[in-house]
Structure 1
Amino acid sequence: MEAAGHKCVGFVEIDKYARASYSAIHDTEGEFEGHDITNISDNVIRSIGSVDIITGGFPCQAFSIAGKRRGFEDTRGTLFFEIMRWATILEPEILFLENVPGLLNHDEGITFETILRKMDEAGYDAEWDCLNACQFGVPQSRERIFIIGHSRKGSRRKIFPIESGNEQANYERLKKINNLFVSSKTSFSNEKEVFSSVSKQACIPILSPGREQNKRVYDPKVILEGNVNPSGSGMNGNVFSEEGLSPTLTTNKGEGLKIKIREATKKGYAEASKFDGVNLSMPESETRRGRVGKQIASTLDTGCQQGVVNEEMRIRKLTPRECWRLQGFPDLAFDAAAEVNSNSQLYKQAGNSVAVPVILAIAERL
């Protein structure tokens, strides 16, 4: 938001580890700080004063297909009503909310209808769109619903749709994010690398083969699973198990080698090549699909069970730094958070975060 010219006046976060990272990354001096939003009284909220925008994401687990989808029956889902309590007190011109796509069809649309009705009762007209982070300069397939509430007392500029996939625009946004961190943190050297690359094919440089790698190999032998050539033979068609090593790399037609990844598809597997992303969670599942991303990672979760096929055709887990890069954070931001948190918390925070360039793209239009 600040990269788009907005100024933060306060934040609320119940997780003490997330607060530690937030305060390490941003200059929060003079800002309002809240912890448990349900314990903040109306009078305290009024003391914040005038604000133009309330932005936030009420926890997605209550509506996500990855969870039990209990919606407003889940105590986490009720935090939407806390956001609306703040909106009725502070009366900002804009509400800027985020959640998972499952919010739209949860409980046959009743949950989303309730959200729109509550916003309408508070004096806000809503528009929304589903945006994928991979269209905004980061190599992660991450679809999220963004809802903009316009106060009927203020301006009503339409925000959506937003152009996506514009490489030059994405490059400029990443530069804005980079420059914000370089200029705001005097303790950081301006010569320090911030983004390894802003290329659309960022999976290669951003995953930085050879640095901070987990060298674990699943099984010290080559396992040939099958051949995908019509003839059923030939080196170019060989598919190797994810549980073993790759054979010696060859120059055959430039096609390279592939690793077989179990999927619940007709073939029963997907082929992963060098620098492809691999979802490592529940590898023995017989119902999972879409485990392989072609030069892209699938959606990060709080466990960040994501891997990448490296140059040696081995699958390794992504590092916390790489997960933060997949959300669009510069290395400077990660370095600050890493000084105050463990790797497990850094993984969790990456999975809980929003993709920074997507937020900037929306914030530029607010």
Structure 2
Amino acid sequence: MTKKPTAIDLFCGAGGLSEGLRQAGYSVVAGNDIDQYAGATFAATHPEATFIPGSIRDLKASDFLKATGLEKGELDCLAGGPPCQGYSVYNHQRGMHDERSHLFREYLRIVEGLMPKWLVMENVTGIMSAGEGEAFQAVLAGIKALGYNVEARILRAEDYGIPQERRRVVFIGNRLGLPIAWPEKTHGDGLLPFTTIHDALSDLPALKNGEDGGVQTYASEPQSDFQREVRSGSNAVYNHAAPRLGAINIERMKYIPQGGSWRDIPFDLLPSGMKRAKRSDHTKRYGRMRWGGLSCTVLTKCDVHWGAYIHPEQDRSITVREAARIQSFPDWFQFEGPRTEQYVQVGNAVPPMLGRRIGEAILSAMSTNSTDMDTEDERKAATG
């Protein structure tokens, strides 16, 4: 039996990127994160991997080698997304002075100690402008200095079948002298139609504001290919409880149609701060999703004050399970910890479907290289 390529996930969170790599055909052998709740989710959903808790600053590459039984240079892919709050457009004090902006150096330190054949690093697009691009250029230079061929691109989640407008910078590198492999778009103009909110959520049970029905049954048979895929391996709905919003927010929602926002709320019902806002500001706040559209970016709080997180038909904000669906997590993937921490885990994750496309592209490049080497060896043998 062919041995699966190996992967380690740094800053793994709940394990969205590693789940995608696993779906692509990797054996995820270890993960690390400082967050105890995300770590509990990763450990529960990746039983084949060793979870190493704690700050990356306190760990050495040898800790990962010891945990996995690998030797330096044997690891096929090192993945990770150093915490991005220092670069996020939602952090108005963002920049290189934020200590989280330097965690990519810890990632590079582990790269140097492990020397994986391939590496994948994901971050918010803000890394390209923070410190006038200082961090972005430092990441590229740091990876190249370790002997890797590396490229970076902005990938759009919706181009790969994820029902969400999400932009992320992805760095891919290898030390094998191979061209960088990028996933081909699967959805959009001339391709498959974008996956809509209806495609993603229409089979989930209805909830009232504040309702928690526990483990629930599906409301219908799968209504789309997306639902068939994420429901594979699950026979129930988990993490599906509606946050309890105050009466004033429920009253506001009554005026917001699908695709609408705070501008549809009568002036006297608006929060005091928004009464002073320009009509062109805060376009997503108090937004109601459209069945036929995409979600806005899933953040660590699906708070109606922050974005378009109102259910298309039900007067409530979306649940952890609905946020996880929008991120393309499979339904069997259960999130541990308090509900507020579950939202954080979902919002911080790389969508598994995107991780899978990246993993598949790298495996394809590895396979092509292996075939080329075999052909070259055969040619040399024939002429030798």
What's the TM-score, normalizing by structure 2? 0.65
Whole-Å Cα distance in 2 between the matches of residues 96 and 194 of structure 1? 38
Structure having greater relative contact order (Cα 8 Å, sep ≥ 6): 2
Supply the distance in 1 between the matched residues of 2:312 and 2:37 (Cα, whole angstroms): 31
**SS in structure 1 opposite 2:108?**
helix
Return the offset for 1:83.
0.9
1:23-102 correspondence to structure 2 within 5 Å: 23-28=43-48, 31=50, 33-47=52-66, 48=68, 49=70, 50-68=74-92, 70-102=94-126
Deviations 1:212-250 (A, max 9, x none): 5568585599xxxxxxxxxxxxxxxxxxxx726359xxx
1:344 counterpart = 2:346: no
Q: Distance in 2 between matches of 1:74 and 1:54?
A: 25
Q: CA deviation at 1:296?
A: 2.4
Displacement of 1:323 in angstroms is 0.9
Query: Hey, what does 1:6 align to over in structure 2?
Result: 26
The structure-2 alpha-carbon separation of the partners of 1:195 and 1:360, relative to structure 1 and needing over 3 Å to count, comes to: farther
Letter in 2 for 1:288: H
Q: Which region of structure 1 is more displaced relative to structure 2, 353-362 or 158-167? A: 158-167
Q: Is the 8 A contact 2:30 2:64 kept in 1?
A: no
SS at match of 1:147: strand
Unaligned regions of 5+ residues in structure 2, if any? Answer: 1-20, 200-216, 232-236, 266-270, 363-384
Measured in 2, the distance between the counterparts of 1:285 and 1:345 equals 32
Conserved 8 A contact 1:141-1:298:
yes
Q: Which residue of 1 aligns with 2:328?
A: 328
Distance in 2, matches of 1:121 and 1:195, equals 52
Higher strand share: 1
CA distance change for structure 1 residues 197 and 96 in 2, over 3 Å: closer, same or farther?
A: farther
- Name whichever structure is richer in helix by fraction: 2
Alpha-carbon separation, structure 1, partners of 2:41 and 2:282: 33
Q: Confirm or deny that 1:18 pairs with 2:38.
A: yes
Structure 1: tracts of 5 or more residues without a match: 175-190, 222-241, 248-256, 263-268, 272-279
**Which residue in 1 is equivalent to 2:296?**
298
Measure the CA separation in 1 of the matches of 2:41 and 2:294.
Answer: 26
Partner SS for 2:332: helix
Which range moves more in the overlay, 92-101 or 154-163? Answer: 154-163
Secondary structure of 2:136's counterpart equals helix
The corresponding residue for 2:377 is: none
Q: How far apart, in 2, do the equivalents of 1:220 and 1:11 lie?
A: 40
5 Å matches for 1:1-366? 1-28=21-48, 31=50, 33-47=52-66, 48=68, 49=70, 50-68=74-92, 70-151=94-175, 154-160=176-182, 162-165=184-187, 166-167=191-192, 196-198=222-224, 212-213=241-242, 218=247, 243=252, 245=254, 261-262=261-262, 269=263, 286=277, 287-291=281-285, 292=287, 294=290, 295-306=293-304, 307-311=309-313, 315-334=315-334, 337=335, 340-366=336-362
Q: Distance in 2 between matches of 1:220 and 1:352?
A: 26
- Whole-Å separation in 2 of the counterparts to 1:245 and 1:67: 31
**1:109 to 1:298, Cα distance in 2 relative to 1, 3 A:** same
Percentage of pairs with the same residue? 26
Q: Is the 8 A contact 1:323 1:350 kept in 2?
A: yes
Could you say what the CA RMSD is over the residues aligned between the two structures, in angstroms? 3.8
For residues 17 and 355 of structure 1, the distance between their equivalents in structure 2, rounded to whole angstroms, comes to 18
In the TM superposition, what whole-angstrom CA distance separates every residue of 1:322-343 from its partner, at most 9, and x where no partner exists?
Answer: 1111111111112xx3xx4221
Letter in 2 for 1:353: A
SS in structure 1 at match of 2:111: helix
Q: Secondary structure at the match of 1:148?
A: strand
Structure 1 stretch 87-96 or stretch 108-117: which is displaced more? 108-117
CA distance in 1, matches of 2:284, 2:350: 21
Cα offsets for 1:37-57 (capped at 9, x unmatched): 111135434535221111000
Change (3 A) 1:8 1:215: closer
Distance 2:333 2:45 in 1: 5
Counterpart Cα distance in 2 of 1:303 and 1:215: 14
Work out whether residues 34 and 40 of structure 1, in 8 Å CA contact, stay in contact via their aligned partners in 2. no
